[in-house]
Structure 1
Amino acid sequence: MADIVSLRRPEPRDLVLRVRDGDVLRLTLNHPPLNTLSTDVVDALLSELEAAAGDAALRVVILAATGAVFSAGLDLEDLDRRRSDDDAGRAALEAAFARSARLMTAISTLPQPVIAEIDGLATAAGCELVAACDLAICTDTATFCTPGVNIGVAPMGAVVALARSAGRKQAMEMLLTGETIDASTAKDFGLVNRIVPKQYLRQVVDKYAAVIASKSQGAQQGVKSAFARQAVMSREDAAAQAAQAEAASALTPDAVEGMAAFLANRTPVWPKR
């Protein structure tokens, strides 16, 4: 009986585990063995992120996964079965890729910083997921891949994600070769921030989350929003808008308290939201 239970597919509510610890939310993919981004998994993540966006008390979101694979991306086996549909699977494919795009956009536009915690393989849309997060910390055995070219599919979602995360030539290397890179190379490419031994991964990520949560939430939200906007502007327009936004930020209650605390050489007490 125990073996039968262990092989049972998780209920939709169990596909993404949710743990709230004060002002930090940990979301863990729980869809073994590959943590594929199935319809149920993506819908569960989108639901959690929508709720997080409206939670003024929430400061940081951590995105982790169970098992040896962070995420293998979309469920190709399921999508391939849809090729027998009357439209050769077009509707199913378009819906799956659109759903994945909504997930990546939800992460990048979430007001709170999102930290990816990676132990194992992050491939295809799973690698996009890492790239969409604001910070990424991985184990020294983690690996990354955008293998679309290996199966004849132009990985356009990965193009968008990596163009905003890694350097141009490094992103193109991953996209054009489809080869798997190790943690050290991923750090060199700009895909991850830190590499840590497996036994310290959770500890280091939690420490980063605590440090981020201790800072001005208003200032952090301003940084994340401005970072996305300036990427599509000319340098002159970006600088001009940044000057206006920074002046507005300096007038907020957080800034008033932060400057006063700095001048008084004390720890700031951020206003409640």
Structure 2
Amino acid sequence: MSDTAASPTPQDTPDTPILGTLLHEGVYRIVMQQPKAMNALSRQMMSALSAELTVAAENPDVRVILLGAEGKVFCAGHDLKELTAARAEADGGKATYEAIMHQCSDLMQQIVRLPKPVIAVVTGVATAAGCQLVASCDLAMAVDTATFCTPGVNIGLFCSTPMVALSRNVAPKQAMEMLLTGESIDASTAKDFGLINRIVPRDYLDQVVQKYAEMIASKSAHTLKIGKEAFYKQLEMPLDKAYDFAAQTMVDNMMAVDAEEGINAFLQKRKPDWKDC
């Protein structure tokens, strides 16, 4: 597949693609392009993201996925105007709310279950379900001015679904602090909490993120798939079951072509020739 791109634009217009994409050296960038709407997770945005992630999962040329956004807000969470409009429906919006919350939950689980690493690239505010989006990604890099919060409690709507992703990435007391206070934390605090991996000055972000992603993309895609799947599965198991599962995963991994090639390449002091199987 050749490089493909949809250039991000600073303003939302009817002609502006909701997402921009670029594939280069195995790294697939997906950029949310609705800065005026604060890249909110509207039903349209969630559908577009899910469809693009499916494309990326099925494309063998894609080895790592970067998820970023245009504008000062990485993602403002659910579209509150969309939610409010649904109150005019006969059931007060209940059916719409159920559909939206399930759609969001499915999107977050899709990211976790995707066979390829997904890295959030946060250049602004990540709030509520936007913070959930960051927490759902396998890794996260942020500029030093990025901020994070789960402010639902401030408007009478506890961030219950963001809580699922947050509590699986952040220590319980830190997660509860964010959920109960609704206050923003800066990038340094987010790194201390375990929500993000690295903080990068904005001027160097593209260079550092691309290098970081290309390093991961250089690994065996088969090995990355095995490892990501095993990581999330064992987290939900008791210790003894986790070790039994991990041991069997290691055995299965050892039988793979790329494991044999990788070990031989290491012993022979040469670069491995991955077959991704």
Unpaired runs of at least 5, structure 1:
none
How far off is 1:8 after superposition? 5.6
- Whether the aligned pair in 2 keeps the contact of 1:62 and 1:114 (CA below 8 Å) is yes
- Going from structure 1 to structure 2, the CA distance change for 1:7 and 1:191 (only over 3 Å counts) comes to closer
Q: Which residue of 1 aligns with 2:46?
A: 42
The residue type equivalent to 2:71 in the other structure is G
My pick for the range that moved more, 152-161 or 126-135, is: 152-161
- Whether the aligned pair in 1 keeps the contact of 2:150 and 2:182 (CA below 8 Å) is yes
1-side partners of 2:10 and 2:119: how far apart?
A: 30
CA RMSD for the aligned pairs? 1.5
Match 1:134 to one of 135, 138, 144: 138
Q: Which residue of 2 aligns with 1:199?
A: 203
Cα-to-partner distance string for 1:42-62 (whole Å, 9 max, x where unaligned) = 111110111122222310000
**1:260 matched to 2:254:** no
Q: Which residue of 2 aligns with 1:55?
A: 59
Cα-to-partner distance string for 1:155-191 (whole Å, 9 max, x where unaligned) = 1211111111111111111111111000000000000
How far off is 1:84 after superposition? 1.8
Q: Which residue of 1 aligns with 2:3?
A: none
Unpaired runs of at least 5, structure 2:
1-8
Q: Which residue of 2 aligns with 1:216?
A: 220
TM-score by length of 2: 0.93
2-side partners of 1:51 and 1:70: how far apart?
A: 22
Q: Which residue of 2 aligns with 1:17?
A: 20
- Whether the aligned pair in 2 keeps the contact of 1:10 and 1:31 (CA below 8 Å) is no
3-state DSSP of counterpart to 1:19: strand
The residue type equivalent to 2:264 in the other structure is A
The residue type equivalent to 2:217 in the other structure is A
Alignment of 1:1-273 (within 5 A): 9-11=13-15, 14-33=17-36, 34-271=38-275
Cα-to-partner distance string for 1:189-233 (whole Å, 9 max, x where unaligned) = 000000011111111110111000111221211111011111111
The residue type equivalent to 2:94 in the other structure is R
Q: Identity, % of aligned pairs? A: 49
- Going from structure 1 to structure 2, the CA distance change for 1:66 and 1:181 (only over 3 Å counts) comes to same
Cα-to-partner distance string for 1:121-161 (whole Å, 9 max, x where unaligned) = 00011111100001100000000011111111121211111
- Whether the aligned pair in 2 keeps the contact of 1:144 and 1:182 (CA below 8 Å) is yes
Number of corresponding residues: 268
How far off is 1:6 after superposition? 8.0
The residue type equivalent to 2:35 in the other structure is P
1-side partners of 2:210 and 2:14: how far apart?
A: 26
2-side partners of 1:55 and 1:62: how far apart?
A: 15
TM-score by length of 1: 0.94
- Whether the aligned pair in 1 keeps the contact of 2:12 and 2:35 (CA below 8 Å) is no
1-side partners of 2:232 and 2:60: how far apart?
A: 21
3-state DSSP of counterpart to 2:140: strand
How far off is 1:7 after superposition? 6.2
Cα-to-partner distance string for 1:4-26 (whole Å, 9 max, x where unaligned) = x9866344x70011111131110
How far off is 1:272 after superposition? 5.2
